[in-house]
Amino acid sequence: MLPGLLATAGLISIHLLCHKLHFLERTPRSIWLSGAGGISVAYVFLHLLPELEEGQRAIEENIPGLADYLAHHSYLIAFLGLILFYGVEHAAKRSTSSASTSGDSTMAPAVYVVHLSVFAIYKVLIGYLLGNAERDITELVLFFVAMALHFLVADFGLRDHYKNRYAQSGRWVLCVSVFLGWLASQTPDLSSAVPAILTALLGGGIIFNVFKEELPEDRSSRFSAFLIVGLCCAALLLAF
């Protein structure tokens, strides 16, 4: 319990302290953010996604009716996670663009609440899986490092998009969400399908959020950092 709680506190501290890392706020994109994105993507493809195969069996055993309709529902859940984040991000950008051209800011608060709510659920999910991973110290360390770097990338994106609004309220909501997720993971006797479904959703969410931050041309992302650090992380994951 203690290792998981300490790891949760570590993730929360990223939301609280990330705004002080001013060297990340520059264009071309900071080499550290691109490197962090590479690690997150490597973790998803070499660690989380392979777990979907095991999660597939857990879902079939605990929710057998799904097997009659969907051959690969854990992968479908990951796909739906990606679509969910893409849809919310698209709505946020459209609202911001409309407000800036028309002078009507009434949509921005509503979209901010929806966007933040989705990320809050996302953080609850991560907190839950963090608590679930503490049964294996190696798994816990790998998950913590990957999520800490992912938090860094995601936090930078949210602060860049919502400015002071995120600093004043959003980051605190996400901090509480991470803790609530970890707290929920301490609930005994939950179906093994729960972490399987959450892992699939997390995989889709990370893939979208990392590439959302890396691909825009105005960010001038550091591909070399993304590639080299990602490959090093991949080699490390394959060694375990």
What are the extents of the domains in the chain?
2-18+32-239
> Given this model, what pLDDT does residue 195 score?
77
**Residue 63 contacts residue 232 (beta carbons within 8 Å):** no
pLDDT at 1: 74
Q: 131 in helix, strand or coil?
A: helix
pLDDT given at position 36: 82
Q: What is the token pair recorded at 36?
A: 């962090």
The stretches in the chain having pLDDT less than 70 are 22-30, 55, 58-72, 96-108, 134-135, 188-192, 213-221, 240
| Amino acid in the structure at residue 92 | A
**104 φ, ψ (degrees, to nearest 5):** -95, 115
Integer Cα distance of 90 and 235 in angstroms: 34
DSSP letter (8 states) at residue 218: G
> Please, are residues 125 and 201 in contact by the beta-carbon 8 Å criterion?
yes
Distance of CA 81 to the CA centre of its chain: 10
Q: In sequence order, which ranges of 63-135 are alpha helices (DSSP H)?
A: 73-102, 107-133
What pLDDT is stored for residue 214 in this prediction? 61
Report pLDDT digits (tens) over 48-83: 778 777 767 766 666 666 554 555 577 888 888 889
Length of the chain: 240
